[in-house]
Structure 1
Amino acid sequence: MLRQLACATGLILVPWSGAMAEDAARERKATTLYRVFVGDHDAPKVTAFDLGDPAKRWSFETTGQARLYGVDNGSAVVVVQSEDDRVDIIRSGISLHSHGDHSDISIAEPAAVREALTGPRPFHLIDHGGKVVINFDRGGYAEVLDAHALGEGRLEATRLAQGLAHHGYAAPIGKAWVTTVASDASVEGSAAPKRLGLRQVEADGMPVGEMQPCTGIHGEAFSGAYLATGCDEGILTVTAGKEGPEFRMLPYPADLPAGESTGTLLGSKSLQVFLGNFGAKGLLVVDPAGEPHIQHIELPFRRIDFALDPANARFGYVLTEDGTLHRIDVLDGKIAQSARVTEPYSMDGHWNDQRPRLAMAGDEVVMSDPKAGLVRRIAKDTLEEAGTVPVEGVPYNIAVVGGSGVVHEGDGHDHAGHAHSHGDPKIYAGYFEDSQIQDRPLSDYAGDWQSVYPYLQDGTLDPVWQHKAEKGPMDAAGYKAEYETGYRTDVERITIEGDVVTFYRDGKPMKGTYASDGRETLTYKKGNRGVRFIFRKMDGDADAPQFIQFSDHGIAPAKADHYHLYWGNDRAALLEEVTNWPTYYPSTLTPTQIVSEMMAH
């Protein structure tokens, strides 16, 4: 059996000349760019600027005050003007497309989309599974938009009807839909309909099955396989089951303050966890799968706004009314660090009064400061101010798009035309819908590939482990030990040409002819998923493995930039292997370039 755990041997490398390095540098230039969009509290306008070069700025007229949402991996910003019955779209000018070991970034000027949505009081917005869903509270329906089309400046909408106009939401769950349910009875002291729970519906809004009780339902977010929503009784979770959505109520622990509930939830993109509000001075960490399901964090003052760090899922940030920013350790369920960042803002008064709002931009927390007329940049690790950007008017709601990627120059390749299924970082992290998966040919993995295991052994990859330790829960030694098991192999090189796969051990080739044997979707311990694309040997050397299974974080046809390969003679047994995943990068890459590619994530 070819798949053995043994010491690695020498590599066979294609010589890398200085001229080749210069050519590659010209073709691929790493760039980091974050673009900030700020809605004014009083004036009907949105201001945009590049965070690293605030002199580059743009202004967009709106009809009224706007809440801003980056969608389609930040390629578009949705401008929701609830009190003016209008939704506008701004193309952000930044598109990121993940290719496994790196992302491509395309940069252009931001531009308003001429077409707009109009309707009675648009409010809650959900961006999930390639769909952007906007609830029209006084219309009794939700508009379902194609997220990728928004990034290209097109409005492609269908309507999902609700039984009664109310302040709620609709969301896709696998191939099904759920929507909030309200009654004709009104909330005490208000004319608003009483919200009762959540129900499965068809794409046109036709009810399916019984309503799941969730009194006062409000707030929603996705993380991993779960949708979570706040109720008076607890947190209601929803997952996609074989027979449709599966519901589960997670009751609030008995020792939590009575009479409080959650109405806003944020979902992590890389951990299966939620951060939610709880009353005026609390936060909840919600683990939908593990115990304890709910941890309570009491804040020293009332909460103004909070955000999750997409780059390091362990941390969130919350601003309290005394002007202090707190870093929240989500895994430990406690405040890890605090620092004063602005003057106090009282939470007395109306919910929509002038108060700061938070967003994340790489290594910084970006905060609007309405009284000061500024956007503040705060280093997320030290909570020290890294700079300020004056913004005319009263800066209020805020959205940040962008990130790091490779700009390709002169290659004639249309990066904006990549399939959305591999351009979405959620997919790369293992969060996707079954409907997004497509079969892949062996040609996706064609080429000459080198094992990275020798680079782990000789210390070349040590900077990678240190980089991971700066953002993750383990130290560098812990990561190196994990990957020592993961990368271990005695196959130093693999070539794939047509349907022929050749394995090299100690420089000696062993080959087989392979044909597709389907794919398998695996669910991992933390709730994310992966797809194995499987090929069966049809002919070749006796020692060549009967099955090979590719995993490169992609779920649809796209040229692989690296891959993890599982091989052996037992198809089912290979699917159980999750600790050893020999990893291969193009043989044309130097060790330094491989380190750079790995650290780009």
Structure 2
Amino acid sequence: MHPTSLRRAKLPVLALGTALALAACSSSTGAAPAAGPSSSAASASTSPSPAAAGARLALSYTGGIMVLDGTTLEPVAELESEEFTRLNPAGDGRHVMVTMSKGFQVLDTGAGTGGPAELTDRVFEADTPGHVVRHGGKTVLYADGTSDTTIFDTAALATAEGLPERETVEGTEAHHGVSVVLEDGTFLTTVGNADGRNGIEVRDAAGKKIAESDDCPGVHGEGTAQGEAVVFGCEDGALLYSDGTITKLDAPDEPYGRMGNAYVSETSPVVVGDYKDDADAEGYLLDQVTLIDTAEKTLEVVDLPEGVEYTFRDVARGPGEMASIIGTDGSVHVLDPENGEITQSIPVIAAWEGPAEWQDPHPAIVVDGDVAYVTEPAANKVHAVDLTSGEVTATGALDVTPNELAVAAG
């Protein structure tokens, strides 16, 4: 089947029936953010959110990690770390993988237990730790420096003494890549070397190669949708693996139309991806998204409303399979992946500008149930947003500038 590529024009921002009150606040742009309960640097005043009960947030900042209660947004712990770390949920609702110089270090957030948070001494050693993938009860760690993949049962992280039993699949040539393991043991991994990346290969549970493609320049990122359809981003579209077959989905812009990150729900066939159509564009802000229907094998590009831009940290899937995007206008825009329409826009933070470097602090969003958590680095704040009611239900003021963000659902 030949894939279809489409493009949609810019959409207007929906006007809210009831606007949230705005209050002046220091920011990089001087714009006023939506008001939420404020707090001291050590606490937060909230309206409790049942959807977030038991959850905890992990926020990285320069030289440390702060763990917050997901309901009150009050600090649970401040932990020392390296200067810049990345945070990825381990998949068990409690632990977070922290990328350190020695590998993936396990952060126990205490989510669901009410216990203390701790940056444990458990480290999955890795040369240049990279992507963390969670699917089918497995957690998959990828080391860019060797292209080795480490696989373990996600649930074992909470019960094992020390590190859980794990399998290592040795890489061939080192590159910035990613691997996925399906429920039947099928293993998908990117292919590349120090000079570039160009595709994927698929092996069965016995390690036999069953499919491959080199038609994916700059392959980056992955996402597993409904029915274990797996998407990898390319600089000219995407690769889709489904039912034993690899299909290339071409971008409508040639020769360059890059998707590099996939935002998925495993109960939806539609993958939302970021999109960039100008290889020479400066900065990290984007104003289009891709919608990949893995059942129909189509790729569509949708323009966001005028004045709404985002980065790779600013998209998450939420209730009803919707995508939530924290835009540069300071609002969370809820996008319906079925038709590409914005169904709701919720003012949350002040308008913001894109980062000079991708590692620099800028707003991030994660979702737990009906609640979206949004960081506001310019104001040293984090906000909880009820995506059902459209209300900012909690605001926590911090004494640090938040950077990366992860949620442990408890």
Structure 1 length-normalised TM? 0.53
How much does 1:364 deviate?
2.3
- Are residues 269 and 402 of structure 1, via their aligned partners in 2, closer, same or farther at CA, if it must alter by over 3 Å? same
Matched, 1:390 2:397: yes
How much does 1:336 deviate?
1.9
Q: Which residue of 2 aligns with 1:288?
A: 294
**5+ residue gaps, structure 2:** 1-49, 277-285
Q: Which residue of 2 aligns with 1:401?
A: 408
Q: Which residue of 2 aligns with 1:126?
A: 133
Matched, 1:237 2:259: no
Q: Which residue of 2 aligns with 1:160?
A: 169
- Are residues 110 and 380 of structure 1, via their aligned partners in 2, closer, same or farther at CA, if it must alter by over 3 Å? same
Picking from 209, 217, 230, the partner of 1:227 is 230
Task: Please give the alpha-carbon distance, in whole angstroms, between the structure 1 residues aligned to 2:93 and 2:203.
Answer: 29
C-alpha contact (below 8 Å) 2:237/2:249 kept by paired residues = yes
Task: Please give the alpha-carbon distance, in whole angstroms, between the structure 1 residues aligned to 2:273 and 2:291.
Answer: 7
1:148-547 aligned at under 5 Å gives the runs 148-153=155-160, 154-155=162-163, 156-173=165-182, 174-183=184-193, 192-201=194-203, 210-225=212-227, 226-239=229-242, 241=243, 245-252=244-251, 254=252, 256=253, 259-279=256-276, 280-290=286-296, 292-300=298-306, 301-304=308-311, 305-313=313-321, 315-347=322-354, 349-402=356-409
C-alpha contact (below 8 Å) 2:211/2:245 kept by paired residues = no
Task: Please give the alpha-carbon distance, in whole angstroms, between the structure 2 residues aligned to 1:143 and 1:384.
Answer: 41
CA deviation digits over 1:277-300, x for unaligned, max 9? 011211112111137543523343
Task: Please give the alpha-carbon distance, in whole angstroms, between the structure 1 residues aligned to 2:406 and 2:245.
Answer: 32
User: Highest CA radius of gyration, 1 or 2?
Assistant: 1
- Are residues 60 and 157 of structure 1, via their aligned partners in 2, closer, same or farther at CA, if it must alter by over 3 Å? farther
- Are residues 330 and 108 of structure 1, via their aligned partners in 2, closer, same or farther at CA, if it must alter by over 3 Å? same
More helix per residue? 1
Q: Which residue of 2 aligns with 1:423?
A: none
- Are residues 31 and 218 of structure 1, via their aligned partners in 2, closer, same or farther at CA, if it must alter by over 3 Å? closer
Q: Which residue of 1 aligns with 2:110?
A: 93
Q: Which residue of 1 aligns with 2:39?
A: none
C-alpha contact (below 8 Å) 1:39/1:67 kept by paired residues = no
How much does 1:349 deviate?
1.5
How much does 1:332 deviate?
2.0
How much does 1:205 deviate?
7.0
How much does 1:328 deviate?
0.9
Amino acid at match of 1:247: I
Provide the secondary structure at the position in 2 that maps to 1:213. coil
C-alpha contact (below 8 Å) 2:56/2:67 kept by paired residues = yes
- Are residues 292 and 208 of structure 1, via their aligned partners in 2, closer, same or farther at CA, if it must alter by over 3 Å? closer
Provide the secondary structure at the position in 2 that maps to 1:303. coil
Q: Which residue of 2 aligns with 1:62?
A: 81
- Are residues 131 and 291 of structure 1, via their aligned partners in 2, closer, same or farther at CA, if it must alter by over 3 Å? closer
Picking from 54, 60, 72, the partner of 2:91 is 72
CA deviation digits over 1:72-107, x for unaligned, max 9? 3413221123xx243111233345xxxxxxxxxx65
How much does 1:345 deviate?
2.6
Q: Which residue of 2 aligns with 1:147?
A: 154
Task: Please give the alpha-carbon distance, in whole angstroms, between the structure 1 residues aligned to 2:256 and 2:51.
Answer: 49
Higher RCO, Cα 8 Å, sep 6+: 2
Provide the secondary structure at the position in 1 that maps to 2:155. helix
- Are residues 89 and 203 of structure 1, via their aligned partners in 2, closer, same or farther at CA, if it must alter by over 3 Å? farther
Task: Please give the alpha-carbon distance, in whole angstroms, between the structure 2 residues aligned to 1:277 and 1:203.
Answer: 31
Task: Please give the alpha-carbon distance, in whole angstroms, between the structure 2 residues aligned to 1:371 and 1:394.
Answer: 8
When structure 1 is superposed on structure 2, of 30-39 and 274-283 the one drifting more is 30-39
Q: Which residue of 1 aligns with 2:281?
A: none
How much does 1:357 deviate?
0.8
C-alpha contact (below 8 Å) 1:275/1:283 kept by paired residues = yes
C-alpha contact (below 8 Å) 1:324/1:338 kept by paired residues = yes
Task: Please give the alpha-carbon distance, in whole angstroms, between the structure 2 residues aligned to 1:322 and 1:369.
Answer: 12
Structure 2 length-normalised TM? 0.76
C-alpha contact (below 8 Å) 2:361/2:404 kept by paired residues = no
C-alpha contact (below 8 Å) 2:92/2:155 kept by paired residues = no
Provide the secondary structure at the position in 1 that maps to 2:189. strand
Task: Please give the alpha-carbon distance, in whole angstroms, between the structure 1 residues aligned to 2:75 and 2:375.
Answer: 18
Q: Provide the alpha-carbon RMSD of the alignment.
A: 2.7
Dislocated runs of 4+, deviation >4 Å: 202-210
Q: Which residue of 1 aligns with 2:44?
A: none
- Are residues 250 and 211 of structure 1, via their aligned partners in 2, closer, same or farther at CA, if it must alter by over 3 Å? closer
Q: Which residue of 2 aligns with 1:36?
A: 56
Task: Please give the alpha-carbon distance, in whole angstroms, between the structure 2 residues aligned to 1:75 and 1:38.
Answer: 11
Provide the secondary structure at the position in 2 that maps to 1:371. helix
Amino acid at match of 2:352: Y
How much does 1:210 deviate?
4.3
Task: Please give the alpha-carbon distance, in whole angstroms, between the structure 1 residues aligned to 2:377 and 2:131.
Answer: 23
C-alpha contact (below 8 Å) 1:297/1:334 kept by paired residues = no
What is the number of residues matched between the two proteins? 346
Amino acid at match of 2:246: F
Task: Please give the alpha-carbon distance, in whole angstroms, between the structure 2 residues aligned to 1:72 and 1:361.
Answer: 13
How much does 1:359 deviate?
0.9
Task: Please give the alpha-carbon distance, in whole angstroms, between the structure 1 residues aligned to 2:203 and 2:298.
Answer: 31
Q: Which residue of 1 aligns with 2:71?
A: 52
C-alpha contact (below 8 Å) 2:226/2:268 kept by paired residues = yes
C-alpha contact (below 8 Å) 1:371/1:394 kept by paired residues = yes
C-alpha contact (below 8 Å) 1:37/1:46 kept by paired residues = no
1:516-595 aligned at under 5 Å gives the runs none
Amino acid at match of 2:188: V
- Are residues 73 and 89 of structure 1, via their aligned partners in 2, closer, same or farther at CA, if it must alter by over 3 Å? same
Task: Please give the alpha-carbon distance, in whole angstroms, between the structure 2 residues aligned to 1:262 and 1:118.
Answer: 30
Q: Which residue of 1 aligns with 2:282?
A: none
CA deviation digits over 1:240-291, x for unaligned, max 9? x4xxx42112222x3x586221000011132222111011211112111137
C-alpha contact (below 8 Å) 2:310/2:326 kept by paired residues = yes
- Are residues 371 and 205 of structure 1, via their aligned partners in 2, closer, same or farther at CA, if it must alter by over 3 Å? farther
Provide the secondary structure at the position in 1 that maps to 2:176. coil
Provide the secondary structure at the position in 2 that maps to 1:53. coil
Aligned residues: percent identity? 21
Amino acid at match of 1:35: A
Provide the secondary structure at the position in 1 that maps to 2:354. coil
Task: Please give the alpha-carbon distance, in whole angstroms, between the structure 2 residues aligned to 1:266 and 1:149.
Answer: 26
C-alpha contact (below 8 Å) 1:182/1:193 kept by paired residues = yes
- Are residues 309 and 200 of structure 1, via their aligned partners in 2, closer, same or farther at CA, if it must alter by over 3 Å? closer
